[in-house]
Amino acid sequence: MLPKKEIGQDFLNLFYHDIIDLDLENQNKLNLFILKIANNRFAYDELINELYDNIITFSLSRHELDSFKNSQGGKKFIAARDKFRDYTSNEGEFGEVLLYCFLESHLDAPKILTKLEIKTSNNDYVKGADGVHLLRLNDADFQLVFGESKLDSDLKSGIYDAFRSIAEFLDDKKNKVRFESNLINSQLVKESVESSTYEFLKKIIIPSANEDEYNIDKSFGIFLGFDIEIDDKIKNLSNAEFRRYLRDTTKKSVISSVESIKKQIDKKKLWGYTFYLYVVPFTELKEIRKNIIEKLTT
């Protein structure tokens, strides 16, 4: 029995899905999601309203959530909010939240743990993947999906940084994968799950070579947020023209980056791993990510 997913269709309804499971070869997939547009602006307020609930299940482990089951929702929100770094120096946690939401709602891969939930204070820096999810391919084959999120004004720079981080994560000399596996195992013990569910998850995540019941492989969920520049002339288009321009321009920009993704996989010799890429454009990304975290946490 897999852990319960917390993020559903309501989150995906906030976006236009303009590239759907683009095949990048070797089962790698790319999806472009564009936040709804109204009055020539992205619907950031609607996204923030949705994320108020989502940061609770993102930030808190199931054990922590269970401890709040008899409490009002406000206490859970405060506990979740307090794990975020101060918005003035928060460079990446917005991307981590969105990646968590996409992996649960679109990829159908429930969370095992997130980096944020194992922090003991908001100033902690936790190394390793941004989160770990479990994807069921069939009754016997599963993938541990390690999260990597990058927010960069330039899409191709974000692609480069993401695959550089993944290559470092997989470097045997740094033992990051072994550290992450031990962390997953230790966190499972703390989860509020029935003993049968725990044994099932443990068999999947830490399989024995002597048993052919389950196969587990590593894969990566990548979130890439980037800037789409809009000048005053474009802002003055009619609403319909603006939507069409922004969606078409963004799609062309993402399609033009596909070769960069394939090149990084080849250059870093990352064959045999599966990559699930989620790309989302923003306007004035540097300020927007700070403003959204501020509204969510203050």
User: Is residue 3 a part of any domain in this protein?
Assistant: no
User: Is residue 126 a part of any domain in this protein?
Assistant: yes
User: Is residue 2 a part of any domain in this protein?
Assistant: no
Task: Give the whole-angstrom CA distance, residue 52 versus residue 78.
Answer: 11
- Number of folded domains that form the chain: 1
The boundaries of the domain holding residue 188 are 9-297
H helices within 170-284, ranges in order?
Answer: 176-190, 195-205, 232-235, 239-255, 258-267
Task: Give the whole-angstrom CA distance, residue 169 versus residue 178.
Answer: 10
- Angstrom CA distances, 86 to 80, 83, 121, 175, stand at 13, 9, 11, 30
Task: Give the whole-angstrom CA distance, residue 48 versus residue 293.
Answer: 9
SS3 211: coil
SS3 216: strand
152 within 8 A of 136, measured Cβ to Cβ: no
pTM for this entry: 0.91
User: Is residue 4 a part of any domain in this protein?
Assistant: no
Task: Give the whole-angstrom CA distance, residue 107 versus residue 126.
Answer: 25
- The per-residue pLDDT for range 8-48, each reduced to its tens digit, is 999 999 999 999 999 998 899 999 999 999 999 999 999 99
User: Is residue 50 a part of any domain in this protein?
Assistant: yes
User: Is residue 101 a part of any domain in this protein?
Assistant: yes
What is the identity of the amino acid at 126? V
- The per-residue pLDDT for range 121-169, each reduced to its tens digit, is 444 444 567 889 999 999 999 999 999 999 999 999 999 999 999 999 8
- The per-residue pLDDT for range 214-262, each reduced to its tens digit, is 888 999 999 999 999 899 999 999 999 999 999 999 999 999 999 999 9
What's residue 123's pLDDT? 46
User: Is residue 206 a part of any domain in this protein?
Assistant: yes
User: Is residue 258 a part of any domain in this protein?
Assistant: yes
Bridge-based pairing of strands 29-35 and 15-23 is antiparallel
Task: Give the whole-angstrom CA distance, residue 203 versus residue 198.
Answer: 9
Evaluated on CA atoms 137, 139, 141, 144, the torsion sign reads positive
Beta strands in the chain (DSSP E): 15-23, 29-35, 37-38, 41-42, 111-114, 131-136, 141-151, 215-227, 274-282
What's residue 186's pLDDT? 64
Backbone φ and ψ of 232, nearest 5°: -60, -35
What's residue 124's pLDDT? 42
